[in-house]
Structure 1
Amino acid sequence: MATISTPPMYADMPLATLPTPQFETGETDPFTIEASHMALSHNSFIRGFNSIYQQAPRVQSVDKADFVGYCLAWHDCVDTHHHYEEIELFPNINKACGRTDLMSTAVNEHAFHGGMERMKAYLQHEGANFKADELIAILDSFKDALHSHLKAEPPSIVALRQYSTAQRPIDILGIADAAGKKQVNLSFVFNVLPVFLLNMETAEFEGGMWHDVFPPFKGVAKWILTKAVPAWHSGRWRFVSCSAEGKVKQLAV
């Protein structure tokens, strides 16, 4: 693969990763745990965004088709996540809490998807002929709104514990698990999931406290999802920010 210089290590820029509520507070109640899982997921989206932003100016013509596939997979990963929040997770949270509006702010913050759709449309139209400065300009148009939303959502999950009582307990982990499972189908596993799992840094993040904890895959299942599955469309996944072992790696370009 042609490169213009030695590829750098991935760095958390232009968007900073998020601390987990559990790391910050030491609390281990279900709402803090679920909010922490959400923060870890959001960090994967952030590292995916950053890896696109950092590599777009460096990618060579021969690699552009694969890079476009990677960018579109990132778009679909975030889009699918928010789609299921809106149709599964948030409505079921509202129902469990006996409210109709608790998550309305989070839904309204999804307005940045307009910028994401411009990114998708641009890459689908231009394909391997995309121009780095044009792609970066689109990313710049929604990056702050994206980051603000990803940062705000975990604390809003922690705050839900005030609605859980002995008379009306809220199984936030069960609600989230059920919503998450509905995202998964065969196409998602092979065409989208690698961009999520391989932008998940767990080896050193927060002292490694989440390594082999989240995502909750171990042994053969972890090997299949992080090494075997990415063999499909492998050209795309070389642009990820992390290794299958959850370590930040040298970028592809």
Structure 2
Amino acid sequence: MSKAEIEKPWADGPLPLVVTPMSETGKDDVFTKGASHMALLHNAILRGFNSIYLQAPNVKQADYADFIGYSLTWYTFVKKHHDDEEKGLFPKVEEAVGQKGALDKALEEHATFMEGLSKFYSYLKPLSEHGKASRFEPLTLILIMDSFSEPFCHHFHSEISTIAGLSELKTVQENHELAKTVGPVFAQWGKSSIMRAGLTDVVPFLFLNFDRTAEDGRWANWPPMPAPIRWMLVNVGGSWYSRWWRFASCG
């Protein structure tokens, strides 16, 4: 990996980011909006992956413990995100559109990288115990990430297309009032999913891996909330593990 790649701003690689369907297609139906908001979450996760992958070879031993904490927070973010989708969002969306199994493709894709993700956690978790961070080996972590990066990246792009594509379902085409039901499902899930994730770790991680300049700043104020609340989530909630956030991609 070249020095230029390591210094690449915003951690937009090696895993490519997702273009939001609203920007890509110009559509604004409820499924395109829901998929676009999901894409923003996915991009924070992809930037998190990239920031770990790119920085691992250059982390000083004195910073291993903080880097491990940052990396485990990424794991927690991914795991909770998928658990919330499987147990909350997907069943409710399928019920709303009247087609059970409409999101089975996304569920099946989750399984394609969970083994590698579990290895990521199993390697780092013991090293997070007091005094064990010095045993961290960057190359070992990179090889683990390489082992699941392809299906991981595929899923985080594919799921966006799957959600946006729900607008083409016959049940959706025939029910023009469906937006009134589905819109709140996406909105409520997004809000509750973020706030349940962990105010001192996952939420700061999320906000510090948003690139607010992306797509010409279209999403600079997403998710919508009063500026003082946003500031508190990052600066007060994030203060507990403040040393971890220097590894974030968009601080």
Shorter-normalised TM range:
0.7 to 0.9
Distance of 1:192 and 1:167 partners within structure 2: 37
1:79 aligns with 2:79: yes
Runs of at least 5 residues in structure 1 that lack an aligned partner in the other structure: 1-6, 244-253
The answer on whether the counterparts of 2:80 and 2:197 sit within 8 Å (CA) in structure 1 is: no
Specify the alignment match of 2:3 in structure 1: none
The answer on whether the counterparts of 1:84 and 1:180 sit within 8 Å (CA) in structure 2 is: no
- State, as a whole percentage, how many aligned pairs show the same letter: 38
Secondary structure (helix, strand or coil) at the match of 1:53 reads helix
1:149 aligns with 2:145: no
Specify the alignment match of 1:211 in structure 2: 220
Q: Cα RMSD (Å) of the superposition?
A: 1.8
Shift of 1:95: 0.9
The one-letter code sitting in structure 2 at the alignment partner of 1:119 is: F
The one-letter code sitting in structure 2 at the alignment partner of 1:145 is: P
Number of matched residues? 235
1:137 aligns with 2:139: no
The answer on whether the counterparts of 1:73 and 1:192 sit within 8 Å (CA) in structure 2 is: yes
Q: Structure 1 pair 154/93, CA: closer, same or farther in 2 (3 Å)?
A: same
Shift of 1:226: 2.3
Aligned equivalent of 2:185, options 175, 182, 191 = 175
- Which one scores higher on RCO, CA 8 angstroms, separation ≥ 6? 1
Shift of 1:172: 2.6
Q: How does 1:17-28 map to 2 (within 5 A)?
A: 17-28=17-28
Secondary structure (helix, strand or coil) at the match of 1:188 reads coil
The answer to which of 230-239 and 50-59 deviates more is 230-239
Specify the alignment match of 1:195 in structure 2: 205
Shift of 1:125: 2.2
Q: Structure 1 pair 115/232, CA: closer, same or farther in 2 (3 Å)?
A: same
Shift of 1:222: 1.4
Secondary structure (helix, strand or coil) at the match of 1:230 reads helix
Shift of 1:235: 0.8
Distance of 2:17 and 2:235 partners within structure 1: 24
Aligned equivalent of 1:223, options 223, 231, 238 = 231
Specify the alignment match of 2:57 in structure 1: 57
Q: Is the helix fraction higher in 1 or 2?
A: 2
Please report the TM-score for the alignment, with normalisation by the length of structure 2: 0.88
Q: Structure 1 pair 16/60, CA: closer, same or farther in 2 (3 Å)?
A: same
Runs of at least 5 residues in structure 2 that lack an aligned partner in the other structure: 1-5
Secondary structure (helix, strand or coil) at the match of 1:151 reads helix
